[in-house]
Structures are given as structure tokens and as C-alpha cells.
Structure 1
């Protein structure tokens, strides 16, 4: 994270700090634009999801008070979509507030380091708050993907282990930030503890483990729809990319901490925005892919595996071509092995 000794502060380049600050502002502006775009996209998708339920009930004038399996499925999808929409909004609010605070404090931190006498001090209070804010961005991103993993795999043991690692990393950085701004602050203590080394290693470990677990869980899912299998494949590739991006960012932060203070500060300034943009890109890309998959209704007789799947089941396909809605309801008599509880809203 953004902890460095007083000797290193004297080696900070004015140009490096200025470039890092401007890149951070550009990433923050991109984050705001993606938030606005996703909120508009999500509202339109939520409104469009209600049309099949309304149209289906109009086609059953004599049975409006008798819920059918299709109607119950549509209503369940609406409720799940509403919960996802509310959760996404709260996540965006927290991420935007945190990144706004961090961006402002980074600008103040730059001013203090470059133009005020505080440059000679071993640690600025704005540096500690920016470090904690970056940690919050990392925790939000990792918690989001951990919830996605739990929604897909329902693996209690691995979810608890990853959750415990996230909490331990958060508390470690929180305590370090609190000690750094206290009156008893001793910079040599943080140097001996190698705080950036420990924090970056733990964050990278969580990122790689979480991405691997998500890809493995997606490989165990299957569908009789070709479009759904393509969707799962795209999401798997995206998760691999997100895991590599976040882990490489943390490892580069660690490498620059040992090699060059200017490169270290550049990555540290942008690390929080990189994690937030990772989740926002996941929101937007998955919304696009799910909308594309819902327009393609391709069924085949294969087992529907993404690769190495272990569940086999047959479906009864119910088709409403005029509404453009296609549903598949598992037949209890044809299920050969239990299928894990899964919803497309988990993606």
C-alpha cells in the first residue's frame, strides 16, 4: 500500500506525482461514466423483464388466479432481478463515494508533498486515509466476486476461508493506518513489518484464488441452450482476465515498492480505481451478454457442458414464439443426478 520511508519521499519526482494524479482522475472520470451508463442500462433491462409476465397472464384469461410454473418462474426472476438491482445500486454508491474521497485526498496529498513543508515528514495523514480508501475499494471488489461465487457454488468452506482472508487483510491495513497517524508513530516499525509486502501478497493471493474458484464453479454448470453455454464461456474468460489484471496490479505494486518509489506511487494512486473499474466492467459486460443470450434460443441434444461438467439432466422445453420467451423446466422423472441451485442472476 502507500507506505514509504522518509528517505524515499525525498526521491519522489514532481513529474511522476503529477502524471499519477492525472491518470487517477481520468480513471475516476471513466468510473463515473460507466456508473451512469450501467444505471440507465439496468433500469431498461428491469423494465423489459416485466413484459413476459404481463403478456403471459393476458394469454391465460381464465386462469389468472391460478399460478402456473411459468408464471412462478417469471415472478421469481422479477424478484431476483429487483434484489440484484438494489444491491448493485448500493455497491455503486459506496464505490463512488469511496473513490471520490480518495481522488480528492490524493490531490491534497500531492500538494502537501510537493509544495508544503509536510514533504519532509515521514508520513502524511492524507496518505494514510488514501491507503485505507484503496483498501476499501479492494475489499468491495473482492466481496462482490465472493458473493457471486457463493451464489453459484454454495461452497461454505471455501467461502468462509476467502471471507476470513478478506477480513484479516482489511483489519491489518486498518490497524496499520491507525498506527501511522498516531502520536507514537515510528516509521522504522512499519519498515520492519514490510507492510506493502504483506498487504500486496495477501491481496494477490485472494484475487487468484477467487478467480480460480469462480472459473471452476462455472465449469460445473450446464445448459441445453447453446446461447447460455456461450454466456458461461464468456464470463469464464472475463473472470480469468479480471483475476490476472488485479493480481498483476498488486504484484507490480510490490515490485515497484522494492525498485522505484515513483512507479510504486503511480500504481498505488490508481490501484483503487482499477479494482472499482473491474466490478463496473463486470456489471456492463455481463448485462450485455445476458441480453444477447436471452435473444438467442438455440437448443440441442447435447449435455450442455462448458467443459468437464458432471451433471446430466433432460428438460421439457416450453416455447412461446410470439412473445419471444423460451423456458425449460426440469422434469423430475428424467433427472439422473442432482443439479445445484443456480440462477442466471448469480452471474
Structure 2
């Protein structure tokens, strides 16, 4: 086992099974040493340039590497039984969109078929109103019609609506899960997960089998939704909703951000207040409303200046420019949030 290449799934899984080594450190070790054997025989000073002195010492214990290798092999065997691919960051079929992230997961568990690049995240509140339900279906239908795959988190509410709309309109959809792929969360979406796989979609997670969808893992999942995508569409959310984690990751990752603008009575709904903040407030005022701190706050001020952070979609009249922005960004152009001019809100009270 110690002759295993570090850059393979087996190698990365072995490294992350060692005490004191997390995903980022495992990737650095794999970049520095081609074989697990090379780590065992490495000069302590060379190891300490990558890991702490305590971890460097533990890496020279042959039994530790052997035990970690056996654990990695058990994971791979279970993956094979479940029809799950285990991708290393160094594999050619690891999603290119994720590879560009600074906090990318070095291992990805995938069941089903991943789309090639043309993906957008569609997310929102777990308790959508009539507005959230309608815009989720209409926007997803438009995106699917333009050959975009829909990425979401399989949660109840807007996530479920987005996956279902993608399937109903003949599109491909990907569910990014916060726990291991051995268990669907929430359980009531187990049938939906099966349908996603049956219709050439995929289930994706960075978590090993047996890991539950803890609150921390749910937030970590959010960065993968936006990371896999060219853009994020927030269908409906409060300013303090969990969807704002994905909004933050979308902005930090320099992805496009879109949001349908609620009008009339829908604008007064609590679950619409996050959308109004994203589409109507300047970035500085949005930073205050969202309680943005640190790097997130800096990016909001520097990148958006006095513009709203999301491209507003006020009616179907805005769909053409929306699709143009997506294609521009996909081709490597600099389509930016806030550059689209929404149609007048009086033209249509619902998208």
C-alpha cells in the first residue's frame, strides 16, 4: 500500500486518514511527494516545510501509513459497491470549476453523470411563498431551455422545486449533498435523488460515507453549489436566511449572481427581503444588512462599489440579457453582476 501514488484517490484518502492532516495539507503533500513511500523516507526538515513537527514525526511511523491505507481501501471498496466514483483533485475528470477554488476539496464523491461546465446554481429558502414557487419554475425552465444544468442542494423548499423543475422540463440536475452519499438528507427527497440519477443527473459530496449533514457541513456544501456553477440564482430568501451563505461564496468566488425581483404584495413578504437587498441596495449598504465581515466585506466594497451585488430580473423581458451574461462569462468574458438593465417593474408583477 505504501507504494501508492499520492495523487490518486487512494493516496489522498490515505493522507486525510492520518492524524493531523486535513484536505489542504493532504493536497500539499501530494504535490510535494509522488508516492506514500517517499513521505515515509523524507527528511524531517523537508516534511516540516509542509506539516507541523508533530505531524512530521507521526508520518515516520510505518504502521500509521499502513492503517490509513487500509482505511482508504475500505472507502474505495464501499464506493465501488455503491456505484460511486471517488475523484482526486489531480484526476482529469475532477470538475474544472471546482479546481479553481482556493478551498477546493481534494476528494469528491460522485454518483451519476456530472455536466460539462454549463451549470448554474438555483437556491433559496426552505419555505418559499407563491412568488418563490412560480419564479423557481419559470427561471429553471428558461435555463434548461438554453442547455444549462441546474445545481442545487436537495433541501426542502426552493432546492426541491429547482431539481423538480429541471427534471420536468427535460434538463439535467446535480444535487450537492452535505453528508455522505450513503444516506439522502432529507429522507423525504430519497425518491427525488433516485429520479435525478435516472435522468442522467448526479449526486455529489465531499464527505465520506457515514458522515452526517451537520450544520458546518451544510455551509461547506454551499460553497460547492456556487463553485460548480457559472452563476447562482437566488429565487427567494430573507436577509438572514441560510441561502446567504451561498450568496457569500458566490461573491467570493467571483461568480455571477441573479435574483428575481418581487413586486407588489410579494415585495412585502419576509422571505423576499434578502432579494430586495441584493438587487436594490448598494454594495456598501448590502454589506451592512448582511453583516459582512473580513474578506467578504472587502470584496463587496472593492468589486461592486455602489452597485447592487445581484443582477435583477424584473420580468421575462430580462431573460435574454440574463442568458447573454451567462454565455459571456462561460466564454471567458467579464460579464458582471449589476450590468443588466432590468425592465420596468410595472410591466409584469410576476416573472
- Range class of TM-score, shorter chain: under 0.3
Q: Structure 2 length as normaliser, TM-score?
A: 0.26
The structure whose RCO (Cα within 8 Å, separation 6+) is larger is 1
> Relative to total residues, which structure has the larger helix share, 1 or 2?
1
Q: Structure 1 length as normaliser, TM-score?
A: 0.26
